[in-house]
Amino acid sequence: MLKWFLSFCLLTLGLFAQDTFTTKVGENQIFITSLKDNVVDKNILIPKNEEDKKLIAEVYKDKKINKHNVILIKNPNFTALIDTGYLDTLDKLQAFLQDNKVKSEELDYIILTHAHPDHIGALMGEENPFTKAKILMDRKEHDYWIDGQNEAIKNALERLENIEFFTHDKDLIIEGSGLKAIAAYGHTPGHNIIMIGNHLAFWADLVYAFDVQIKHPQIAVSFDVDAEEAIKTREKFFKEFKDKNIQILGAHMPFTEPIILTNF
């Protein structure tokens, strides 16, 4: 019996082991976790020329793995989650919250960078486990999916009763929170970057295939709703973040720790 119990405990730890990084920005305690490792599919990339094709072929000679990152913020005045991951990572997300002493039903805010299922997945089940949380998102993003043909996303958004839309000219949640939404449209019509303080940016899906797009930002992915706008947005923020020496982290990156672009 003891042997069986120890095996069960080890299995449970393996299932819910967290790939995490923590830091502090102002009053915000930041907890970053990866909910899933995904093999990057080179077929989602859209090369523009032979040079792009050669880079893709060279990079993907070997298998590349992305983490899938979300962020928990614990402020003295609130708790907030940036994105929720997939529906099938809900258990791991809840374990991550519990490890950091936040109950799902007591979470105050969910900040959605956009509404693709790997970002709102935990809200797509039959029941919403975040019963208290106010949902913050871009109105353009909300309206695009509500008026669109993707029934799963549309139904998930329609079930949410507590939605508040971003105002890009002031702090999110409360004045002085240090959190700001920055429009970064293209990947989706209402895709946003979330700034945490002045020197840390969660750029969500600005980059999807890091090892290639960090070198050739003009390469789009098939998930981009407006590929040309996504490219222009990516190039704009690459320059801005490099010039300002801003740390960045994305939803789809090979790591959970923020980086500085000048190192790549």
Question: pLDDT per residue over 4-22, tens digit each?
Answer: 333 333 333 333 345 899 9
CATH number, domain 17-263:
3.60.15.10
Output the pLDDT for position 252: 97
Query: Which H or E element spans position 113?
Result: none
pTM value > 0.75: yes
- Residues 217-228, mean pLDDT to the nearest whole number: 98
Output the pLDDT for position 1: 41
- Residues 225-237, mean pLDDT to the nearest whole number: 98
Output the pLDDT for position 18: 53
Residue whose token pair is 């920005």: 25
Q: Are 171 and 178 in contact (CB under 8 A)?
A: yes
Output the pLDDT for position 19: 80
Distance separating the N- and C-terminal Cα atoms of the chain: 52
Return the percentage of the chain with pLDDT > 70, whole number.
Answer: 93
Residue 249 has pLDDT above 50, yes or no: yes
Question: pLDDT per residue over 163-218, tens digit each?
Answer: 999 999 999 999 999 999 999 999 999 999 999 999 999 999 999 999 999 999 99
Question: pLDDT per residue over 31-67, tens digit each?
Answer: 999 999 999 999 999 999 999 999 999 999 999 999 9
Question: pLDDT per residue over 113-141, tens digit each?
Answer: 999 999 999 999 999 999 999 999 999 99
CA distances (Å), origin 83, targets 44, 61, 204, 260: 22, 31, 9, 22
